[in-house]
Structure 1
Amino acid sequence: MQDVKKKLLTAVEKMPAFPKSVHQVLKLASDINCSQKELVEVIKKDPVFTLKILRLVNSAYFGLAREITSINHASVYLGLNTLKNVALGLAAVGAIPKSNVAGLDMGAFWLHSLAVATSTRMLGSMLGVSRDEAADYFAAGLLHDIGKVVFALYMPDEFQKAMGLAVEKNMSLYQAEGEVMGATHADIGALLAERWNLPSELHEAILDHHNVGDGGKSQLVDCVFAANQVSKKLSFGAAGDFTFKPLPAAIEQRFSLDLDGLIKELPTLDEEVEHARVFIKLGEAS
């Protein structure tokens, strides 16, 4: 097991780091005494990043009635937590190469991730979370499968083998990874979350998004799990396998709906995912 952990840590160490400005944003945003002004000053020091955030804020994703022309204005309108998550989403996409030798299709990967992000946010809203808190739900969905990218980039032979096994035996990639590598994308994703100093609730969602047992772990983890099944059943993109599971009893209870019932409650999902594509477009732009 030590050998496996060592191999995972070596792979995680090779992942690109976030820009300094994003590290500072995450650090500041985790401080309850942080002011909007401090956060704005950090973002302003990175003009390229500032421009990306303003483009995102003025896109159909937020659907604002009037144009936001400054980061100060954006911070007032969006709130500190949403601004933090916008910065985090853009930075994560920007840190990830567009191709890998393992053959993980990054276009399909990001479409799946966006669908899970959008569904998680919508499910959180159904349960009454505020608009500001819903930004955490979107970020958790966007990054839930980030460990697959680490595998595809830095353990490509093993990851290819796991993807092949998942297809051949019609099993989940999560299961196949455990058999081939002795660890899963959730394990290595959680290690990356530590390296990137992501907030603890994001770390938990990445680590536990397959491991909900009977459900009821935390509202956020339950929403990510349910959103993952919704996105797979509706074939939004692909992330290595197409197996989906019914919702555990506690998650059905939380929503008073089964998987098909949840899907019926998300009629605008297609359109919302389309709007969210701007994250990838702007994140990947150099």
Structure 2
Amino acid sequence: MEFERADQRKKIERFIQKMPSLSTTVGKVLEICSRTDASPNELNKVISLDPVLTGQVLKLINSAYYSLMNKITSLTRAITMLGMNTVKNMALSTAIIQSVAGSNKSKALPTTRFWVHSIGVGVSAKLLAIARGVPIQEREEFFIAGLLHDIGKVPFGDEYSQVLSIAGQEQRPLVDVEREFLGIDHQEVGELIAAKWKLSRAMTSCIGYHHDIELAEEDDRSLVAIVALANLYVNIHDIGFAGDLFPEYANADMLLSFAGLEWSDFTAISSKVEEEIQKAQIFLQV
């Protein structure tokens, strides 16, 4: 390779340092929702102070993604209907997508196809969560975790094309080639970004361990496993592109076990994935 691994790590760290932080409003939203005694009224007050974010959240709520019967014009009503966790994740996802919009350094990962892949993983993770019987108020966490799982690939530069080429020629997992030739993989890069944005431990685990689930905290493994399964599904079906040309089939049984799912659950989502991806495109348009 034409570049030194140490230099590559420094470049990535500098890139992350220059990435915009999440807005003060989103930071307050995350802080409020992390408290067990937080009230919907507190969340409403914070988001309402940011007209742009309020508009984005209401646009998402009234999109086909949520398929509500009646139009919602009040943030208070939205929080009451969908719950604090769902509204928090709406605010978080829109803020993060906007923060990284146009930040993708590498021509190796076309932006549109990268986000189609990411949305596909988010949608698939949510469908698998439904199959698992996850309560409705917690399902959006799976979508957001899937949406953000590959965020660590954003800082890679054009040298990433060489990594993709080697992984393809040698038919090796992309994460292994990243470690060998870059000295860092997209999971570790993603953890650095998650730390900058002060994301939750569970969300950080999905970003940092979706290829190494056994390293995740035990309490987070079910969520991480479902995201990893969703990633496997999307790679098998060539939905978008994030560089993984050779899905890691060998891990499937282990992932299903950690996720508490069966093969039939994994295959059953195929009838809904495409439709849900189309609905979820709204997250890229707010």
The verdict on a shared fold, with TM-score over 0.5 as the criterion, is yes
Distance in structure 1 (CA, Å) of the matches to 2:88 and 2:76: 13
Deviating more after overlay: 166-175 vs 271-280: 166-175
Deviation at 1:48, TM superposition (A): 1.1
User: Aligned match of 1:255 in 261, 265, 286?
Assistant: 261
Deviations 1:208-242 (A, max 9, x none): 00112599871101101100000011111000232
* 1:273 maps to which of 243, 263, 277: 277
Instruction: Report the alpha carbon displacement of residue 20 of structure 1 after superposing the two structures with TM.
Output: 1.5
Residue 117 of structure 1, aligned match among 113, 122, 147: 122
* Matching residue's letter, 2:172: M
- Mapping of residues 77-156 of structure 1, within 5 Å: 77-98=81-102, 100-103=104-107, 104-151=109-156, 156=157
State which drifts further: 12-21 or 138-147: 12-21
Measured in 1, the distance between the counterparts of 2:103 and 2:50 equals 26
Tell me what 2:60 maps to: 56
Does structure 1 conserve the Cα–Cα contact (< 8 Å) formed by 2:127 and 2:269?
A: no
1:185 paired with 2:191, answer no
Q: Is the 1:122–1:266 Cα contact (8 Å) retained in structure 2?
A: no
In 1, distance between residues paired with 2:167 and 2:20? 28
Asked whether the 8 Å contact 2:33–2:85 carries over to 1, the reply is yes
Q: Is the 8 A contact 2:209 2:215 kept in 1?
A: no
Post-superposition Cα deviations, 1:8-62, rounded to whole Å, max 9, x if no partner, equal: 4333212121122111111111111111111111111111111111011000000
Moved more, 234-243 or 169-178: 169-178
Work out the CA distance in 2 between the residues paired with 1:236 and 1:147: 19
CA distance in 1, matches of 2:9, 2:176: 18
Q: Which amino acid aligns with 2:121?
A: V
SS of residue paired to 2:144: helix
State yes or no: 1:43 paired with 2:39.
Answer: no
Once the 2 structures are TM-superposed, how far is the Cα of residue 111 of structure 1 from its aligned partner?
A: 0.4
Q: How many residues align?
A: 276
Aligned equivalent of 1:31: 35
CA 257–101 in structure 1, closer or farther in 2 if over 3 Å, else same: closer
Which runs of 5 or more residues in structure 2 are unaligned? none
Contact 2:122 2:144 in 1 (8 A): yes
Aligned to 1:196: 197
Correspondence 1:172 to 2:173: yes
Describe the superposition over 1:110-155 as per-residue Cα deviations: whole angstroms up to 9, x where unpaired.
Answer: 000001001111111111111111111111000000000122xxxx
Distance 2:95 2:110 in 1: 20
Aligned to 2:21: 17
Structure 1, unmatched stretches of 5+, are none
Equivalent-residue separation in structure 2 for 1:268 and 1:92 (angstroms): 26
Aligned to 2:238: 235
Once residues 6 and 112 of structure 2 are traced to their aligned partners in structure 1, the CA distance between those partners, rounded to angstroms, is 34
Deviates more, 1:3-12 or 1:48-57: 3-12
CA RMSD for the aligned pairs? 2.2
Letter in 1 for 2:142: Y
Aligned mates of 2:101, 2:14 — CA distance in 1: 18
| Identity across matched positions, percent | 34
Secondary structure of 1:64's partner? Answer: coil
Q: Please say if residues 16 and 192 of structure 2, whose CA atoms lie closer than 8 Å, have aligned partners that are also in contact.
A: yes
Residue 68 of structure 1: how far off its partner (Å): 0.4
Measure the CA separation in 1 of the matches of 2:8 and 2:35: 34
TM-score by length of 2: 0.90
Partner of 1:268: helix, strand, or coil? Answer: helix
